[in-house]
A and B are shown apart, each in its own frame.
Chain A
Amino acid sequence: MRQFSRRRFIQSVAAMSSLAVTPARGKVSGRVVVVGAGLSGLNAALHLEHLGCEVTVLEARDRVGGRVYTLDHVAGHPEGGGNIFGGSYGRVLHTAQQLGVALRKPPRGLPSDFHVRGQIIKASEWPDASANQLPADWRELLPSRLQGRLQASNPLMATRNWLDPALNAVDQSAFDGMRALGFPEEAIRLIGVNNSYGNRMADTSLLSLYRVRAEFARLTGSQLSFTEAALGNQRLPEAMAAALKGPLRLSTPVRRVSQDQHRISLVLDNGESIEADALVMTAPLPALSKIEWAMPAERRRLMESVEYHKVLQAHLVVEAPYWEKRGQGGSWWTDGQLGRIFVRPIPGTERYNLTVWINGDECDALDAMPKADCQAEIMKQLYALVPDAKGAVSVGDVVRWSTDPYAGGVWSLWRPGQAAEAHAALRTPLGRAYFAGEHTAISYRGMEGAMESGERAALEVARMLS
């Protein structure tokens, strides 16, 4: 019924579109403040400058990039934030090309062994391992592949359908949903331990998992090849920042936002006031909720109800491939607190980058510790799993996104059924304030979602200022 009326509507629009529409001359002018020098804010700023606006970008951190964060102080400059450019990331790839940011195919990650229920298992041994407690028709699937079985029941056919109110109305937790689909308890447990789209399976949205699967299923041909910036992904936001004509102020957190009919006003942490015709606010919701702002109560409630994904990474540099003498691959997938361990060579050297990637509620205890203790605990656990790593690795840095005051996590998570309502509400302009950031994107997640949202916010501001 819905589909039918939509098609009818498109046909009628198509029929009427022969009516000539006089092209108007768009002239956009005005002062715009963009809060946040991540990809969304920088993309919005570049578009608005191009259209003729006078743009000032304010960034709370002492660097640009936001959740794109290359650890330049660690050998191999590993990515602490956004780490891979998808083949369909049109805005990211084009912007990199335009600004001369060199891209490369990422060095191939080393194969993974498994540490499940206390046993070390090679991928080839998994189907027959005693720690593999999956039923017969599931045993062949590696723990990292189990979620793929969701694709058979995926209801998402089009880009924006994850926001469909009807699908959100029947959305449920990944835990309940997978049970209803006949997933074995052990499969649900294994999917849950390294789940990137929720902090726990009990309130991970099944629709969110379908969204990710639908995105992958749609990629074909050249879109299946991924890239990264050769010298670190942060070179992309840096190049974007360098291309701006107007000022970009680092270490400039915003304390308060207010507005009347004629202007929007910001008070900075240093007490300074700035006025503009429009604001593009790109702060992630946990950071945004700390800014003093008289928002409608319902909007604030929604904003504060959105959880962000917890990720903690320890970035190590490996001097020698200690895994070889035991015939191990180097990388690990574990059902313990260490989560996943990714190892890849540093091109042009004999060394490797090793990233311990812990996510979800498993981060809590480590997030609560002082950084040095957190690092010591991770190393203790790593050496327990791989004693040979002792003496062969050095710690580069530990990155904790949940405790980062300007992030609050790596990306927004929508609880079961929450997306349709909360997403639409949180990206709706408030007077002269427009909202961007990955949490407001529709077609993409991650870095391309951030770029998409900046483009959309620029369109909204341009309409108002034209």
Chain B
Amino acid sequence: MTAVMGTRLAPVPVTVAGPVTQVRVVRAEWTKLRALRSTWWCGLAAVVLIVGLGAAIAGSGTAYHVSAADSAAKGISAALLGVLFAQLVLGVIGVLAFSGEYGTGMIRATLAAVPARLPVLWAKLIVLAGLVLPVTLLCAVADFFIATALESARGGSVISLTDPGVLRTVAGSSLYLTVVVVIALALGALLRRTAAGLSVFAAVFFVIPIVVGALPHTITGFAPYLPSNAGGTLWGNPLTTTQALSPWTGFAVLCGYAVVLTGLAAWRLRRRDA
């Protein structure tokens, strides 16, 4: 032992590695997200679902006429039906962001490189939201123009972005999807397994709302507070029959779920062994 002490070799070796910063971790996460095929496939599917389904709806059936019962915003909500399905494929990207790393073991390399851990969660959140928000907003806007052009060409009412609630509906669908992806990310971080994360996500955003919608109204007082129903008020989710919450209140409730789940994910990420 003493002999070894004597042979210690100075100087301290040079290194290329600098300090970990949040910006650097964001760049690292963007490198991963961009390079994964699942991101592109799910992204493409979301685009096709929102725009394609919207065009199909607007181009079939009877043309939409704005009336006292059928507002302009409601017509746009109908054309945004694809959001219901797009949320599922975008949820896959969200869940996989963490569960994919736990499943493959990459999380160990990631967390060894960023031992403070939380910057990884924030970086994934920033990168995902930064990707989903603009992409879905473009989709929603494209969907709006295609759907309204098709409707008016078929003799339906001419709907413009300035009609009451229309802009909120279009932008709201994108805001909704962005927060939903954040919830999916948190579920992936909490559950760590892709299958578990996707099951819970699909149950919360797809199965439960449908089941609850079919139940007698006397026992579904909580229905407006389900994440999909609460957030759905912002863009007029066609599945939401009872809109007890106002659009922005509903959206705030959805954001509340995202904040709580992200908080739990942060706590678990910090506390538990990787």
A and B held together in a complex: no
